[in-house]
């Protein structure tokens, strides 16, 4: 058994310097039944502490004899307002070989560094503590205010709520919409989740199917004018704000580039997933999330942060920790490990064979394809190659060049890069880490997709995509780095 000082349920405490901070700590520890000794040089203060039945002794903490006064106490809190006295106490304890756990009060960052050099284990600055507490209180108060605003919108909705995801919605967008629908239902408001484009990527389809998430294609839904309220969630990944007037709710992690006219707006660029924002609302409304809602939100956060390996914030981690006990982890495992179709395997094999790498950027031509979604999965898989930070895989289908790109390079906004590079000849969409482009082959002179001109079309796609993309990335393409 170790006889050294340890921090455990049997720890004993000494508080050196008992002003307002020390007094508050002493009372809290005493209320918890802790063994606390207080040392202070002010005799009147010590007498007052004794009158409160606190164990207090008169002692100048700047005097080296403080070491003997502390005795065998294994946690020492040095909390005097006189930082020089605190430094003297730390120095005396450490020079005498004391191995107590020392928590010491500083007055500013410089004195904090000096205290750490002398041997303090933890340094606290009351002004920073107060500021952090004030910020937490402000954040909590702001969240409460926002929740009241959202509740008023839902109570006042004259009909169902339309919740629009971004184009070709990803798990974060879908999960955010699912959570907002659950909040709306809490106020007896029915909601439809509307989307345009495709539910691409096998993981995304598995996500929707396994959780039984009801989504409605925009073309099959009533006109937005027929809904009592309209909401956009995680919408700006598409790069454009679809609705500029008559919008009731806007919740996103990305700022719109143009002014937004909405009754309720919550934009938080300091989180990495809109699912994190919606989780905070679930908590604020005191809604116990269903297994489906919790699983969707947790997957939304994990997908957006690459399983907490990319741009993860404390808020994302806190939200995920809250959701974890409610989620269906068996379903999550199924979602994250869907079977790969033969078409996807073919496209991935073609992309691997034709890959060209310049620096940390990889571009590949998958040739003629049947399933556009396979390009997305190929780009994601190739991003796992050692040394690769950005991937782009393109192919031809139905008279169009389709390109899917992924990036984990924090210096590169792949969505903006594709928009700048191909926006004049095609349609680009996406954000900083993932994006896509569609380029109609008609821009090259109306060439038809026939068996006879396949080689010509492939050559055109190479010229239109690979060279321009490498140039936009700041590197020059070549043909000798394709892994052959």
Q: How far apart are the first and last CA of the chain?
A: 62
**If you average pLDDT over residues 368-391, what whole number do you get?**
86
Which pLDDT score, from 0 to 100, does residue 338 have?
A: 60
Per-domain boundaries in the chain: 12-124, 137-336, 342-472
pLDDT score of 308 = 84
How would residue 4 be classed by pLDDT, with cut points 50, 70 and 90?
very low
**Is residue 421 over pLDDT 50?**
yes
Q: Is the pLDDT of residue 349 over 80?
A: yes
Q: In terms of CATH architecture, what is 137-336? A: Alpha-Beta Complex (3.90)
Q: What is the Cα–Cα distance from 8 to 20, expressed in whole angstroms?
A: 26
Q: Who wins on pLDDT, 139 or 195?
A: 195
The per-residue pLDDT of the chain, averaged, comes to: 85
The predicted model scores a pTM of: 0.63
Residue 443, pLDDT > 70, answer no
Q: How confident is the model at residue 170 (pLDDT cuts 50, 70, 90)?
A: confident
Q: Of 367, 281, 378, give the one whose Cα is nearest residue 323.
A: 281
Confidence of residue 167 (pLDDT cuts 50, 70, 90): confident
Edge-first strand listing for the sheet containing 356-358: 356-358, 361-368, 390-397, 400-407, 434-440, 427-430
Asked if residue 390 has pLDDT above 70, the reply is yes
pLDDT at position 261 over 70:
yes
Residue from 359, 268, 378, 280 nearest 323 by CA: 280
More confident residue, 313 or 429: 313
E strand or H helix that includes residue 437: strand 434-440
Q: Which residue has the higher pLDDT, 481 or 293?
A: 293
Q: Which residue, 126, 191, 201, is CA-closest to 153?
A: 191
Q: Is the pLDDT of residue 356 over 80?
A: yes
User: Does the pLDDT value for residue 102 go beyond 50?
Assistant: yes
233 pairs with which residues across the strands?
251
Find, among 40, 33, 38, the residue nearest to 11 by Cα: 33
For 175-193, b where at least 16 C-beta lie within 10 A, e where not — what string? bbbbbbbbbbeebebebbb
Q: How far apart are CA 240 and CA 483, in angstroms?
A: 38
> Any idea what DSSP says for residue 330?
H
Kindly tell me if the per-residue pLDDT of 244 is higher than 60.
no
Mean local confidence (pLDDT), 76-95: 93
Between CA 275 and CA 38 the distance in angstroms is 48
CATH topology for the 12-124 domain: Rossmann fold (3.40.50)
Please state the φ and ψ torsions of residue 411, each to the nearest 5 degrees.
Answer: -85, -10
Instruction: Give me the CATH code for the 342-472 domain, please.
Output: 3.10.310.30
Q: 284-298, 326-340, 417-431: which has the minimum mean pLDDT?
A: 326-340
What proportion of the chain, given as a percentage, has pLDDT over 90?
A: 44
Q: Is 214 exposed, middle or buried (0-12, 13-18, 19+ CB in 10 A)?
A: exposed
Query: What pLDDT score does 439 carry?
Result: 87
| Amino acid 447: pLDDT | 53
Q: Is 355 left (phi over 0), alpha (psi -120 to 50) or beta?
A: beta
More confident residue, 245 or 25: 25
Weakest-pLDDT range from 95-99, 382-386, 447-451 = 447-451
Determine the Cα–Cα distance for residues 479 and 474; give it in Å rounded to an integer. 17
């Amino acid at each position: 058994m170790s006889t050294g000082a340890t921090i455990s349920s049997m720890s004993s405490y000494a508080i050196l310097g008992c002003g307002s901070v020390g007094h508050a700590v002493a009372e809290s520890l005493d209320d918890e039944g802790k063994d606390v000794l207080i040392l202070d040089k002010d005799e009147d203060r010590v007498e007052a502490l004794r009158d409160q039945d606190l164990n207090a002794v008169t002692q100048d903490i700047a005097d080296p004899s403080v070491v003997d006064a502390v005795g065998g106490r294994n946690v020492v809190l040095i909390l005097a307002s006189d930082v020089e006295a605190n430094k003297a106490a730390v120095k005396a304890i450490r020079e005498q070989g004391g191995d107590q756990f020392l928590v010491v009060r500083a007055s500013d960052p410089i004195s904090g560094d000096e205290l750490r050099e002398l041997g303090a284990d933890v340094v606290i600055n009351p002004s920073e503590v107060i500021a952090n507490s004030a910020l937490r209180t402000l954040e909590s108060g702001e969240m409460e205010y926002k929740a009241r605003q959202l509740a008023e919108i839902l109570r006042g909705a004259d009909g169902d709520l339309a919740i629009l995801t971004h184009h070709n919605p990803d798990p974060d967008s879908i999960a955010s919409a699912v959570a907002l629908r659950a909040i709306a239902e809490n106020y007896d408001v029915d909601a439809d989740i509307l989307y345009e484009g495709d539910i691409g990527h096998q993981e995304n389809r598995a996500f929707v199917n396994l959780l039984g998430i009801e989504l409605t294609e925009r073309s099959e839904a009533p006109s937005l004018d027929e809904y009592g309220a309209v909401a956009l969630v995680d919408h700006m990944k598409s790069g454009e704000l679809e609705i500029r007037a008559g919008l009731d709710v806007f919740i996103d992690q990305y700022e719109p580039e143009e002014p937004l006219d909405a009754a309720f707006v919550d934009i938080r660029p300091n989180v990495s997933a809109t699912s994190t924002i919606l989780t905070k609302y679930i908590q604020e409304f005191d809604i116990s999330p269903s297994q489906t809602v919790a699983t969707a939100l947790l997957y939304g956060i994990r997908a957006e942060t690459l399983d907490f390996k990319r741009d993860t914030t404390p808020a994302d981690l806190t939200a995920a920790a809250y959701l974890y006990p409610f989620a269906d982890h068996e379903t999550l495992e199924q979602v994250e490990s869907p079977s790969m179709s033969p078409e996807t395997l073919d496209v991935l094999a073609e992309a691997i064979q034709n890959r060209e790498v310049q620096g940390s950027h990889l571009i590949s031509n998958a040739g003629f394809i049947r399933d556009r979604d396979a390009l997305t999965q190929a780009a994601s898989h190739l991003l796992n190659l050692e040394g690769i930070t950005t991937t782009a895989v393109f192919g031809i289908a139905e008279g169009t060049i389709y390109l899917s790109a992924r990036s984990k390079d924090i210096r590169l906004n792949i969505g903006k890069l594709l928009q700048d590079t191909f926006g004049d000849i095609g349609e680009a969409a996406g954000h900083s880490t993932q994006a896509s482009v569609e380029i109609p082959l008609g821009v090259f002179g109306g060439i038809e997709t026939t068996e006879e001109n396949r080689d010509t079309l492939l050559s055109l796609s190479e010229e239109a995509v690979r060279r321009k993309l490498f140039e936009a990335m700041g590197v020059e393409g070549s043909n000798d780095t394709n892994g052959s």
